[in-house]
Structure 1
Amino acid sequence: MMLNKGKRRITLALGLCLLFGQACSGGAPVPEKPVTASPVSLEKSVNQAKPPAANPLYEDILNREAAWLSSLQLENGAIPMSPGGGPYRVVPYFTNIALLGLLEKPEQAPVVRKYMDWYFAHLNRTAGPDVPLGSIFDYTVEADQRTEKASGDFDSTDSYASTFLNLLRKYAEATGDTEYLLTHRSDIELIAGAMLSTKQADGLTWAKPAYRVKYLMDNTEVYKGLVDMEWISGTVFGDKAGAAAYRKHKKDVFAGIEKMLWSDDKNAYAFAKMEGGELSYPNWDTFYADATAQLFPIWTGVLAPDSKRAQQLYAAFNEHHPGWPQLNKGDAFPWALLAYTAAIMGDRTRVDAFLESVRTTYLDRDHPWPWYVMESGVTMLAAAHMANMKKE
């Protein structure tokens, strides 16, 4: 059975390659979903936010990618996968993660807010058998940058929602604009409901109602979404009971990941649990989804980076796929998410090698495909994390 994440990384990626007339072989991977870098504290406004420590490499990446990402915004507020003359492909999951990186430059907050306005305006407000209330479809926007058509589908309902909740929290902390979240409270709670709509008795979520597979990647993202929804509910909404409810869901998902997916015997997580209960454990030599999924618990905060398990998983990944910092993985996409994970692990050598590689391969060449929004934003997250990390 083709995996949902494989569909996101492979089916979607290959479709986009065909759409943009590009070959999808060699060099880099399709991204998964990343998480936010350490957010700016709530007390700091856009103008007060402390800039990352000066570093020629990191500053260059942050400045260039902020300019590129913001330039992609369409008139209607949507941000597509990549530039062009239209039609534009808008995949909210990828944009959500990309803008987590853009908020490393808080002066770009108006771009993020305009996109969030678009997202709220496109929520599915009528539920169906396979369409949860508060979910959102992928969209195509025509060359006029306003005429839109919903695809009628989404790659997932759990991760689209969770990553938007990540974005809401980071926006609030980067800008201090909690009023925006308060204004949209009912919609935010709808989105949280969509995230949890496929949660099962074992604590894990199906990717979407019509695709009943429980993915390690999705569920770690749901965990992160619940961390942020607990914060939004308690800190912004002042709703202690609501925060407690999301905390309970968070603990359920965490327990599901640890009890249902982790194997002491294999020293690895199952990257998928099928509807019938069958577990898929990784072949470490298979880059995606087997090996890459093992890093998701690290950047989503399920595992502390200094924990023994995180260290073992990260070491195993690098042992089996040592060439990723040089974009040597036999995969069509850069996989900036690997660099962000490496940054969280404090691995400056590999992060810097990756940043130099993508700067030469993509940034200096005007961002050719398969560079796209999520790669850009997650590269910003990695650069910002390194800029803010104490020098060794």
Structure 2
Amino acid sequence: MEHLAYRINRRLAAAIAFAAVVAMATTGAATASASTGATQVPPLSRSTAWSPTAIDARIQWQVEMILSQQRASGAILHGSGGVNVYFGNSAALGLVAEGSSRSLAAAERWHDWVMERLNRAPDAQGASFTSYDYAIRSGEEVATQGYDSVDSYAATTLSVAAALWRSGDPHVRADVASRAADYRGIAALLVSPVPTGVRKTSGLTQATVRYTIGYTMDNAEVYEGLADGAALFTGLGLETDAARLRAAAGASRAAILGTLWNPAAQTWNVYDRSAANLGGAFYPAGMAQYFPLIHGVVDAHDPRVIASWAHLTARWPGWTRSLLNRGEAATPMAYAAVALGHADGARAMLDDIVARYAPAWRYPTGCDATQCQWWTPSQAGWTIRTLLLLRRQTEPVVQ
């Protein structure tokens, strides 16, 4: 554990660095805006932009962005102008990882919002313990009666609950502990077969009760969510539940490795009936290549990860400049890059993102470039986690 004085000094230095980074970005933007009308920021100096205190400043930038999109109810908005539980969970995981009392409180408020709106009774597709998307109509949050998926929403909700528990905050832990029955219901979605759940006979999960495809990205998140849920139940003293989720996580991992890895192509399939076509658009085939890594199905030394990353970056050599032919930056790819030892590439991508979006981090539209449409709390959450991973590689070890 770091000494208190070191932690205080680091936070003070981060605040100073944050102000300096904002000033640099604002000056650059004002100069560019005068001639182009667009918000543009020149790349930050490599000599000053990646010190531990500068990384902390970048983290604070993203924390502020997420908090600016949190409603009084606790809901976190997304680029659509509505509320999406999956993307809000990504933002909350970044806040919990950052760890300040303000971030933790915001993440807890978000999680409370999600749990208070849980569909405990059967939803429109007949499943229980699901979460709907919400639209903002006349200032009110209105359930759309639908969702993009069941498995990813449920899995990431368990991951947020586990992250809040790991924070160690007594108030937060009491809040989480009071919801154990709901977590059991959410987990049941991921371990039970249709129609009460989304588990397939293959061991994969399908996206919804009615949509039978098992996606690589979703299933990687499910593996992590089940593993996180098992750890949470252990912390709550519910070892029978924990053992059930550990077994389910193991089954998910086995199914992912046995069904979704394509040994001939040396890439991850997009889903259980389709090989990846990296020659097409970046999403979903490209993104699927690093989800098993960032969600813990395999580690950075696994030859499958190394091979699929090589194919991915050969197809998209401009990835460090966010040139991925999609509507928003792929910040989880930067996280994967750091995990794989390609920190320089990750830093280059994050510098490019700053150049595109800072200082306003506009929402929902961010810049004129065709590859850059909006910056979202979900992207900010992944950026925080990536920056924390980078910081751990640079900050001194404190005895």
Q: Provide TM-score, normalisation by structure 1.
A: 0.80
Structure 1 stretches lacking a partner, 5+ long: 1-39, 274-278
User: Does the CA contact (< 8 Å) of 1:109 and 1:175 recur in 2?
Assistant: no
Shift of 1:375: 1.0
Q: Distance in 1 between matches of 2:385 and 2:126?
A: 32
Q: Which secondary structure state, in structure 2, belongs to the residue aligned with residue 195 of structure 1?
A: helix
The letter of the residue matching 1:227 is A
Please identify, of 343-352 and 154-163, the stretch whose mean Cα deviation from structure 2 is larger: 343-352
Which of 159, 165, 170 is the equivalent residue of 1:166? 159
Deviations 1:91-124 (A, max 9, x none): 1100101111122332211111111111111000
Change in 2 beyond 3 A, CA 1:209/1:222: same
Q: CA deviation at 1:364?
A: 2.1
1:20-76 CA distance string (max 9 Å, x none): xxxxxxxxxxxxxxxxxxxx99xx9xx99x979952542222011111111211111
The equivalent residue for 1:15 is: none
* Equivalent residue for 2:136, pick from 137, 141, 148: 141
Aligned residue among 382, 396, 399 for 1:378: 382
Aligned residues: 336
Q: C-alpha distance in 1, partners of 2:117/2:261?
A: 37
Give the alignment partner of residue 279 of structure 2, picking from 279, 285, 298.
285
SS in 2 for 1:141: strand
In the aligned structure 2, how far is the partner of 1:262 from the partner of 1:311? 13
CA contact (8 A) 1:295 1:314 kept: yes
Residue aligning to 1:257: 256
- Please give the residue correspondences for 1:310-349 in structure 2 after superposition, counting only pairs within 5 Å: 310-349=305-344
Amino acid at match of 1:316: H
**What SS does the aligned partner of 1:148 have?**
strand
In structure 2, stretches of 5+ residues that fail to align are: 15-49, 192-196, 367-372
Query: Which residue in the other structure is 1:228 paired with?
Result: 228
The answer to whether structure 1 residue 130 and structure 2 residue 125 are counterparts is yes
Question: 1:58 is matched with which residue?
Answer: 55
- CA deviation map 1:293-341 (0-9, x unaligned): 1111110111111222211211221111111111212222111111111
Q: Which moved more, 1:312-321 or 1:51-60?
A: 51-60
In structure 1, distance between residues paired with 2:187 and 2:354: 36
Q: Equivalents in 2 of 1:129, 1:111: separation in Å?
A: 30
Equivalent residue of 2:129, what SS?
coil
Give the structure 1 partner of residue 291 of structure 2. Answer: 296
* 1:78 aligned to which of 61, 72, 75: 75
Q: Give the distance between the partners of 1:100 and 1:231, measured in 2 at CA.
A: 16
Partner of residue 116, structure 2: 121
Contact map agreement 2:189 2:199 (CA 8 A) in 1:
no
Partner SS, residue 161 of structure 1? helix
Structure 1 distance, partners of 2:375, 2:190, is 28
Q: 1:128: how far off? A: 4.3
| Cα separation, partners in 2 of 1:78 and 1:283, compared to 1, 3 Å | same
Q: Do 1:336 and 1:375's aligned partners in 2 also have CA atoms closer than 8 Å?
A: yes
TM-score, normalising length: structure 2: 0.79
For residues 188-219 of structure 1, the C-alpha deviation after alignment (integer angstroms, 9 at most, x for no partner) is: 11221233310011101110012110111111
Map 1:69-108 → 2, pairs under 5 A:
69-82=66-79, 88-107=81-100, 108=103
Which has the greater radius of gyration? 2
Q: In proportion to residue count, which structure has more helix?
A: 2
Q: CA RMSD in A?
A: 2.4
Using the alignment, how far apart are the partners of 1:58 and 1:296 within structure 2? 24
Residue equivalent to 2:209: 209
